[in-house]
C-alpha cells in the first residue's frame, strides 16, 4: 500500500489515518494486492473505489455507520460502499431486505436501484471490514490486513464524532462493538438482513426511524433515506 501522501483520501480521514499507511501490515497488504493482480486475478472494487466509503463521507460529516463485511464479488457490483451496488446492477437480496424494512419503518417505497451513494453523501459511512475481494471468492481478502485498518477507522470515527449511530447487523458487525464508545453513541443491533435471517429480527428492528430520532434529539438533520431515481 502506498504511503498516505500517494493515496487519494479525503483530507480529514487522511490526517486521522496517516500513521496507518506506514505500518508493516499495510505495506504487506499493498504487496498482497499487487501480487494478486500480477497473477491475473480480478479484484473488486476497482482500485479508484477502494476507499470510496471514506471519500464519500468525510470524517467531520459522519452521522451513521453501517458496517458490512466483504465487497460484492460479482462483476460490476462493488463500488466501495457496504451493501450498495453500482447503477444498473440488480439489487442484491440483503439490500432488498433493507429496503423492505425502510418501507415498513418509514413508509419509503422500495427503490428501483441499489446505489446508496445518496446515503453516503449525507453522512452515512457505509464501511465494509474488508475493502477488497477476489472475483467469485467471498471472504478471500478477510485475512489480508484490511481488518486492522477498518478497525482503526471505527476507533477514529468513534473518538472524533460526538453523537453517532452505529448499525451493527449480524454477528460479524457486532464483534466491532468493543471499538465503539457507548457513552457517546447510539448502538443499534439486530440480525443481518440476509434472506437467511432477515425475518428473525431484521425486519421490524426500526433502526432507520430510531437513527433519525437520535439525530434530531442532538440538533442534527435526519437522514433522507429515500433514494432518488437515477
Q: Which residues are catalytic?
A: 70
Please provide residue 43's backbone torsions phi and psi, each rounded to the nearest 5 degrees: -115, 145
Beta-strand relationship, 43-44 and 133-134 = antiparallel
C-alpha cell at 87: 447503477
Q: How many CB atoms lie under 10 A from the CB of residue 115?
A: 21
Here the contacts of 13-21 (C-beta below 8 Å, separation 24 or greater) are 13/51, 13/54, 13/55, 13/58, 13/59, 13/153, 13/156, 16/59, 16/156, 16/160, 17/149, 17/152, 17/153, 17/156, 20/149, 20/152
C-alpha cell at 62: 459522519
Please provide residue 172's backbone torsions phi and psi, each rounded to the nearest 5 degrees: -60, -50
Angle between helices 207-217 and 93-106 (to 10 degrees): 60
Give the angle subtended at the CA of 224 by the CAs of 220 and 227, to the nearest 5°: 155
Amino acid at each position: 500500500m502506498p504511503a498516505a501522501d500517494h493515496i487519494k483520501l479525503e483530507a480529514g480521514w487522511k490526517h486521522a489515518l496517516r500513521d496507518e499507511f506506514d505500518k508493516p501490515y499495510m505495506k504487506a497488504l499493498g504487496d498482497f494486492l499487487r501480487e494478486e493482480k500480477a497473477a491475473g486475478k480480478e479484484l473488486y472494487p476497482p482500485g479508484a473505489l477502494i476507499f470510496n466509503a471514506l471519500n464519500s463521507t468525510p470524517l467531520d460529516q459522519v452521522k451513521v455507520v453501517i458496517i458490512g463485511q466483504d465487497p460484492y464479488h460479482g462483476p460490476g457490483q462493488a463500488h466501495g460502499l457496504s451493501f450498495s451496488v453500482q447503477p444498473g446492477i440488480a439489487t442484491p437480496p440483503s439490500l432488498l431486505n433493507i429496503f423492505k424494512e425502510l418501507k415498513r419503518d418509514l413508509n419509503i417505497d422500495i427503490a428501483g436501484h441499489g446505489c446508496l451513494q445518496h446515503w453516503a453523501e449525507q453522512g452515512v459511512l457505509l464501511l465494509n471490514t474488508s475493502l477488497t475481494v477476489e472475483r467469485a471468492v467471498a471472504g478471500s481478502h478477510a485475512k489480508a490486513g484490511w481488518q486492522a485498518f477498518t478497525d482503526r477507522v471505527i476507533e477514529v470515527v468513534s473518538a472524533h464524532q460526538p453523537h453517532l449511530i452505529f448499525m451493527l447487523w449480524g454477528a460479524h458487525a457486532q464483534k466491532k462493538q468493543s471499538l465503539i464508545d457507548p457513552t457517546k453513541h447510539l448502538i443499534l443491533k439486530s440480525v443481518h438482513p440476509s434472506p437467511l435471517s432477515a425475518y428473525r429480527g431484521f425486519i421490524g428492528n426500526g433502526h432507520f426511524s430510531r437513527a433519525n430520532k437520535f439525530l434530531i434529539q442532538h440538533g442534527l438533520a435526519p437522514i433522507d433515506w429515500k433514494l432518488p431515481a437515477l
